[in-house]
Structure 1
Amino acid sequence: MTQYVRDIMTGDPVTVEPQASVTAVARIMRDRDLGAVLVADGDELRGLVTDRDLVIRSVAEGGDPEQTTVAGACSDDMVTVRSDEELDHAVELMREHAVRRVPVVDDGRPVGIVSLGDLAMERDPESALGDISVARPNP
């Protein structure tokens, strides 16, 4: 049976504007229990930022997180997929580009994110990665 990205993606992604401060984005991630958000200017996808990106590309550089915008911390050289593409294509892209998350874009608009955790849960929910993906985060 053919599976599609739309079958396992996390829909309705959280997006922030490129001008959002690193602090504001970190709070959104904390409050919504997210590891990544999409950076969009209106409906146009500009990048993806992870909690790790915030630490490595902003905090570790010594910038003031209240004054530093997320535009400088996000990955803007992204690979994307459409929701109607086969899931195997998303897996190939993740392997080829060594990424854990791929934004899902339909008609130029971000509509979701497919992650390594989503794939683990779909392919082998009993695997260690599957277990980790559904575990509640540490308080």
Structure 2
Amino acid sequence: MRISVQEAPFDLGVESEAFARNAEQIGAIVTFTGVVRDSDAGRLQVMEIEHYPGMTEKALAAIANEAVERWDLGDVLVIHRFGRLAPGERIMMVATAARHRVAAFEAAEFLMDYLKSRAPFWKKELSATQSTWVAAKDEDEDALNRWAR
């Protein structure tokens, strides 16, 4: 398992290949990459992402460990960036490896739902005229709630 909270961009191909190379006794690998989206018709100039070092990695590792236990995963990768990101830049990546595809898909979706709604990151969207903190959305909470035990 690898958790990386980093400012630098990551290479999707390199990360995916390295993750797959370590997957023995695995029947499925699922990857997802999130991209900074301009949801306001071309107004977003940059998204600033903040976090608390140490606390963030610990929280991500805890949820990754929960995914490993719930879906019997062979491996997990979570990369999440912070700092200033422009529209179109990669913001995060999740990869899961399991013996069967259903487990790999479900675990990846679980991790993505957690990252979207509960991971300790704070996002601010900046345009030419204003800056706005990104608020939690009901649909993100609903997505996460379906995984409650």
Bucket of the pairwise TM-score, normalised by the shorter protein = under 0.3
* Higher RCO, 1 vs 2 (CA within 8 Å, ≥6 residues apart): 2
State the TM-score, normalizing by the size of structure 1: 0.28
Greater per-residue strand proportion: 2
